[in-house]
Structure 1
């Protein structure tokens, strides 16, 4: 009996000691937390380093419609305004010419409906307008006289649902063709040459395994931003896909400069791919922008991404594997597009029109 009593007494003493020890631990934790809060309140907070603003708003130009795309020659800024037609803005004095109808070669009047893409080749006074209406097409316009734009030809067939369009002067023409055009329509990509007078049809077409939202090219390759499939690279001679690489998000637009492909990737933000070896592209960096990244432009080690409700993002891409965010502007509202022009950045904003920023 005595032994049982001693065992019970020892047990009660141990339990009491455990409770006391637990209370002591709780007190120590409480005191430590109070000390941390006091020290944090007394300490000087670090201020995160911020870049000085590189972009200064120089001009705000109101337009009619929704500015979706922009292109330039040496004197003017050309704007596709969706249902608003097109605007041509003089880059010197910012005067604006607005067109909702054009004349045709037979002197008839042609109204403009839903102009989504625009491209200009100033050397040959040719303007290309992607119109999406009853029949999607690309209008070819003589813009030698800005007071009297005239439709001289059009590209139809395989022009449904154009997502991207690039026109440019052929640097070293080998025949009468002086302009080249490449555009993505639905899932496919079409390329053709133009002599400035008569469109004779596409030179080649590529049929990728996913929707082609964006396209770029150089002398040997075609680069396709293929949404969920990422970046696809095709050989221009064989028209065979030689490589592909997945990127964060959905690839929307691509711009190739040297050995790097720069991509706007919708919810995935901004990605850079090393394409020094076209057969083995390598993703080297990604920056997740706010909003949906839908356009990309690159010039002189700077890249700009238009990211919808997230505004525009300006990067220093001197080191493509470590792009530096220099400035994010949200005051423009919802942005559709942004491109470099001389030492300026031209922004097409849904609610504010055209914004022109000086780059410091």
Structure 2
């Protein structure tokens, strides 16, 4: 049986009470008597009572020095966020804790704290509609701010709009982790009308012969963009003739991702001997190749979600490591993999190209060494 995921809900002075209690209750009710989730509160420097903006007093379960490392970090908003976003000790803790957690979910102006913690680079984000101008002021230039939605899912980072939208986002994450049926049942127990964002539902499935043309288009577009942006061919366009892609889909485990009828990404998983890994190759890993995302959907966290899916797929087959390679001369993509917790294991050089080799241990799997 899987261990319950630890959910830490951050507290600070003048936090919004419902930003805290809404997601707290959603995960607590969905916990199935503690089997799925263990939910607790944490404040930065002490577990002295915290007064919310409405005057409710909450006793934190932990301070940050003794808080168990969470799998899910909830960062609520409130009037106090406008002050605490300038508290470097707090934003540093949010940054460090978020990078160790599997998911981070902000509610309302909690997005300001994520922005100041450096967690919104190249992501889509939302907040309370009355605080959108403030988020525009502090969010990085690379972030895309989205209005009139309940929440935005970037994979590891989820931001939600104001107050009760935090419940919707929490239920969305419950559904991602334990299925829609549990989320619907939880919403029913809360007597809450779960407002979902259908546009945020990314469907990932095994590719078939009918997907050949869309996969070919995704790969060609990616190859052409890399050449135009970086001046080299990571993949040669001639490598994607239709019959080659047909054989690729037929002979390998290839996956395609779509929003509705719109294909937005693909990748493949391999298990056999990988020459570029040399003596480092081992069979306790799945090897991801040709991962690409539609340029129209840049910054929406699709790449993170594809990697998360691949990690789950590989882990379910008893492997302990996810491995991939990245063109060494593509700095932004290398930085992306490092930001996801991948560790550089070496470099492969050939006459026309070089690749950096990365791996990440699969969550919950025993360490191989």
* Interval containing the TM-score (normalised by the shorter chain): under 0.3
| TM-score (norm: length of structure 2) | 0.25
Structure with higher helix content? 2
Of structures 1 and 2, the larger Rg is shown by 1
| TM-score (norm: length of structure 1) | 0.26
